[in-house]
A and B are shown apart, each in its own frame.
Chain A
Amino acid sequence: MMLLAAAITIPLGLDLYLPVPEDNPLTAEKIELGRRLFFDRRLSRDGTISCSSCHDPERAFSDGRAVAVGVFGRVGRRNSPALINRGYGRSFFWDGRVATLEEQVLKPIEDPNEMDLSVAEAAARVGLTPEQISHALASYVRSILSGDSVYDRFVNGDRTALTAEQQAGLAIFRGKGNCTACHVGPNFTDERLHNTGVAWREGKWTDAGAGRGDFKTPTLREIARTAPYMHDGSLATLEEVVEYYDRGGNRNPGLDSELRPLRLSEAEKRHLVEFLRCLRATI
């Protein structure tokens, strides 16, 4: 573990270098302010919703719903992503439309289906400037880190940290399963957009994502705690996710070339799920 600017601790398995903008250095004070804002319902129009409503720390900063529910019970169209290790992110939202955390954290406040408040009004309610809200929330999100799992201990040299089944699952993850084609690196994401066919139903897109059904690869850290899965929460369990990829996804004109039927045996599917479940730690 390593202290970064005495503000946060980098757990085993994650890069020591956590990108932080020059104009928003990490400080303990800012992280604490961001934490309080994260749970502050005044940032929503009807005072019922905070960031934590959809990004619950008890659920690894996801919400357990298929799609997000905002003020006045308004239903969004996408699954609330887990806010895990987003400080290492290179683009944000399922369609990757935003480039920085500072910009991203303000969007849900303004979204009519989420918190439905102008940033200026939100700032007035909490007595801060929009920039202070942005910087504080971004700092807090940067501090949400998951590492030091049994997987991290295993790849750091403790060859007994994973069970035999989990090791078998890891081998499938990297080999026959072709999962590392997208879920790569310490954070299990290439931070890129892919068409896995999830949004292709009955010959058309239910959600075009970033264009032709492309959505950003999510991290797999804490995956066992962040069901349901995919950008629309359409798959309820990890077993369903593995089945989906085993059949090669929903075939469509722009399907990513990495997807093809895997022909995994039942035992291999079990092992793969066992491995995915081990990617959890204390956040």
Chain B
Amino acid sequence: MKSVFLIACTLALFAAPQKKDDPELQLQSAIQTENVDGDLKSAIEQYRKVIDRRGTSRDVVAKALVRLGLCYEKQGNAEARKQFERVVREYGDQKEAVATARARIAASAKPSHDSGVVARQIWVGPKVQPYGSISPDGRYISYSEGGAGDLAVHEIATGTDRRLTTTSTRAGDYAENSVISRDGRQVAYAWFNLNEGRRYELRLANLVGDPNPRRLFANGDINWVAPHDWSPDGKLIAVMLMRKDRSAQIGLVAAGDGSLRVLKSVDWRGATNMSFSPDGNYLAFDLPTQEASPKHDVYVLAVNGSRETPAVVHPSDDVLLGWSPDGKHLLFGSDRTGSMGLWAQGIVSGTLQGAARLVKPDIGRPQSLGVTASGAIYFGITTSSPDVQIATFNFNTGEFLSPPVNPIQEYVGTNSHPDWSRDGKYLSYVSRRDVLAIRTLATGEVRVLRPNMAGITQPRWALDGRSLLVSGTDLKGRRGIYRVDAQSGEVSPIVTAGIIHQQSRDGKKLYYNKGGVFVERDLASGEEREAIRTRVGMGIPNLSPDSRYAAARVQDPSTKAFTIMLFPIAGGGEPRELFRVPAPKRAENFLLWTPDSSGVIVGTFIDGKEDQIEFWRLSLDGAQPRPLGNALNARNPGGPPIRVHPDGRQIAFVGGRRANEVWALENFLPALNVGN
């Protein structure tokens, strides 16, 4: 691989006359310093200059990062892995560089007899979900299937997967967080019950034999519940609850009768992880450090409510991973060294023992799946993520006129929800955690707004170009539609009940979904009217660019057949069927209007083959639906909608695939006990 890389670079060198300060030329010079002169220190400096230089193309930066990592690797410096991880995380489109980086990461994760800690890749592939749990014997991982949403278990030794629930007869229901009991016999899981009250329930299923999924806990006053751990005696399940007043609570549900005992009420965002101590006397959890902070600290609470210990309180982000099997150490991830590492804090009977110690650096951003009885910690990490892409698209043929490119080079993998300003001069998008970025297309300059919100999706430019309307969640957990000033980032609520908004062409009306109704709201007067009453099986209506119609995907509850319906918004008239999807295909929820409002593009697919989408162009004038192939499949199915530039040719969307992996860290217990 290394030689292919060098040849490619060398060929590029001769492809065209280049200036001396050309980044690619500088890269070649650095490679010469590294390989010919053998001067790693100077080569590192040269690679860093190439990487930091403004305007350097993504392929050159990715190559330079790989070379930089290789230099560090030769030096035995842990910085090597950071460079490789950055390539994987931020330069997913640079396939060759990513392949090299992945190979080096895998090599670096092989058992190191010096440290004693072994990092082992457990599970890779499209099914991997980082939210679930490992069985105490290390045989199974419970998870929620990405497609149908069923609860499933993955057997690590055989690589086989088995469903424990069946959603096919209950469209709209799905499983979320799950946790396997300490005896490995049951799985507790959150279940969204669309068909009975649209609520979350806590359910149990058997891991062995007939799964027999059954309800354990449901409460009309609780909006959301997530199980995190079983007590060692199997009698209690630690859960995170969200009440209807949006307050979050840490609770214990009795596995026998489903009764709830609330331990502690907390900030509405709640804990990301909770874990019982091996003796069952304590519950550890992490909480956000402040109202709007993305960072966490770790606490330990006596299960009888008598005492709480701030176990890990540090300016860094500290997330709970679990307990060592002997209960003497709390395991947590912390980015206090600059990247997330595995740390341990000694603790006995709720009292801290000594300072926290680094066990293994650079483990990626972990989502704990739990600690096995043998003391291996399992966690999921995301290795690549979709990002904003732009392309030129022919709405008549369904073909790209120019291939999709990633225009954003900062925080790659975190950028989403793009939108063009109405004059076409700006591209806005959501970046990192709730940062709203506005990119000036002519100069590439990026301006960052930090609205006082805890969640932002779908920023859409208002008509005046001075503000954006966003769907999102405020700091008190209220979902709604808010106006964000494009200069100051100041937030003001418009409605605090609805989601998914669209605006009329003249910018005077807002359309959004509120409790099964597609509502039209006059932004000046605040007056509302019911534009469309939605029904079971119907997707969210999509407004045409001229605001005259809305199109929606509808599934017949009895026949399960999909149709695309057209609803008049202005001028009256009856809804009509635009397209009947040939069985057994399904229709994708998102519909793309052509810029001239003459037609709608819809994707169809067969269950389980979501990557083989076939697109159709439907015309409002009654012409036959026309197949468009699957070029648009480059976008991320299920991601935020495609946005069309005012020129009617360019589109912005979120493209690429998310990749998750499950890893295990083993043999770190001896290191914990050194010096104890």
Residues of A at the B interface (CB closer than 8 Å) are 2, 4-5, 10, 14-20, 154-157, 159, 174, 180-181, 184-187, 257
Q: When the two chains form their complex, are residues B305 and A159 in contact, meaning their CB atoms are under 8 A apart?
A: no
* With A154-B221, A180-B245 as contacts: A19 and B265 at CB distance below 8 Å: no
Q: A4-B304, A16-B305, A180-B246 are in contact. List 11 more A-B contacts (CB 8 A).
A: A2-B261, A2-B305, A15-B262, A15-B264, A15-B265, A17-B308, A20-B307, A154-B221, A174-B244, A184-B246, A185-B247
Complex Cα gap A257–B452 (Å): 13
Q: How far is the CB of A154 from chain B (nearest CB, A)?
A: 7
Chain A at the B interface: SS class: loop
Q: When the two chains form their complex, are residues B308 and A155 in contact, meaning their CB atoms are under 8 A apart?
A: no
Q: Contacting A159 at CB < 8 Å: which of B220, B249, B476? A: B220
Residue B669 at the A interface, CB < 8 A? Answer: no
Residue B219 at the A interface, CB < 8 A? Answer: yes
A18 partner residues in chain B, CB cutoff 8 A: 305
Q: Contacting B263 at CB < 8 Å: which of A16, A180, A181? A: A16
Residue B306 at the A interface, CB < 8 A? Answer: yes
Q: When the two chains form their complex, are residues B262 and A186 in contact, meaning their CB atoms are under 8 A apart?
A: yes
Complex Cα gap A43–B155 (Å): 70
A185 partner residues in chain B, CB cutoff 8 A: 245, 247, 265
A174 partner residues in chain B, CB cutoff 8 A: 244-245
Residue B243 at the A interface, CB < 8 A? Answer: yes
Residue of B nearest to A178 (CB): B496
Residue of A nearest to B291 (CB): A192
Residue B301 at the A interface, CB < 8 A? Answer: yes
Q: When the two chains form their complex, are residues A17 and B245 in contact, meaning their CB atoms are under 8 A apart?
A: no
Q: When the two chains form their complex, are residues A19 and B308 in contact, meaning their CB atoms are under 8 A apart?
A: yes
Q: When the two chains form their complex, are residues A186 and B265 in contact, meaning their CB atoms are under 8 A apart?
A: yes
Interface 1/0s, chain B 451-495, versus A by CB < 8 A?
A: 000000000000000000000000010000000000000001000
B246 partner residues in chain A, CB cutoff 8 A: 180, 184
Residue of B nearest to A174 (CB): B245
7 contacts between A and B (CB under 8 A): A2-B305, A15-B265, A17-B308, A157-B220, A174-B244, A174-B245, A186-B262
Interface 1/0s, chain B 230-265, versus A by CB < 8 A?
A: 000000000000011111010000000000111111
Complex Cα gap A218–B137 (Å): 50
A17 partner residues in chain B, CB cutoff 8 A: 263-264, 301-302, 305, 308
Complex Cα gap A115–B243 (Å): 42
Complex Cα gap A15–B301 (Å): 12
What interface size band does chain B fall in?
20 to 34
Complex Cα gap A14–B263 (Å): 9
A10 partner residues in chain B, CB cutoff 8 A: 305
B260 partner residues in chain A, CB cutoff 8 A: 156
Q: When the two chains form their complex, are residues A181 and B476 in contact, meaning their CB atoms are under 8 A apart?
A: yes
A15 partner residues in chain B, CB cutoff 8 A: 249, 262-265, 305
B244 partner residues in chain A, CB cutoff 8 A: 174
Within 8 A of A (CB), among B281-326: 301-302, 304-308
Complex Cα gap A97–B448 (Å): 36
Q: When the two chains form their complex, are residues A16 and B262 in contact, meaning their CB atoms are under 8 A apart?
A: yes
Complex Cα gap A40–B306 (Å): 30
B263 partner residues in chain A, CB cutoff 8 A: 15-17
A154 partner residues in chain B, CB cutoff 8 A: 221
Q: How far is the CB of B502 from chain A (nearest CB, A)?
A: 24
B262 partner residues in chain A, CB cutoff 8 A: 14-16, 186
Complex Cα gap A14–B249 (Å): 11
Q: How far is the CB of B585 from chain A (nearest CB, A)?
A: 40
Q: How far is the CB of B235 from chain A (nearest CB, A)?
A: 15
* With A17-B263, A186-B262 as contacts: A4 and B306 at CB distance below 8 Å: yes
B265 partner residues in chain A, CB cutoff 8 A: 15, 185-187
Complex Cα gap A19–B305 (Å): 9
Complex Cα gap A15–B249 (Å): 9
B245 partner residues in chain A, CB cutoff 8 A: 174, 180, 184-185
Q: How far is the CB of A102 from chain B (nearest CB, A)?
A: 17
Complex Cα gap A174–B249 (Å): 17
Interface centre among A10, A184, A187, by most chain B C-beta atoms within 10 angstroms, is: A184
Q: When the two chains form their complex, are residues B261 and A16 in contact, meaning their CB atoms are under 8 A apart?
A: yes
Q: How far is the CB of B335 from chain A (nearest CB, A)?
A: 28
For the complex of A and B, the 4 pairs showing the least CB-CB separation, nearest first, are A16-B305, A155-B221, A180-B245, A17-B305
Residue of A nearest to B262 (CB): A15
Complex Cα gap A52–B272 (Å): 44
Q: How far is the CB of A122 from chain B (nearest CB, A)?
A: 31
B304 partner residues in chain A, CB cutoff 8 A: 2, 4, 16
Q: How far is the CB of B107 from chain A (nearest CB, A)?
A: 47
Q: How far is the CB of A91 from chain B (nearest CB, A)?
A: 15
A14 partner residues in chain B, CB cutoff 8 A: 262
Complex Cα gap A15–B252 (Å): 11
Interface centre among A159, A181, A185, by most chain B C-beta atoms within 10 angstroms, is: A185
Complex Cα gap A100–B264 (Å): 19
Residue of A nearest to B308 (CB): A17
Complex Cα gap A158–B219 (Å): 9
Complex Cα gap A157–B251 (Å): 15
A2 partner residues in chain B, CB cutoff 8 A: 261, 304-305
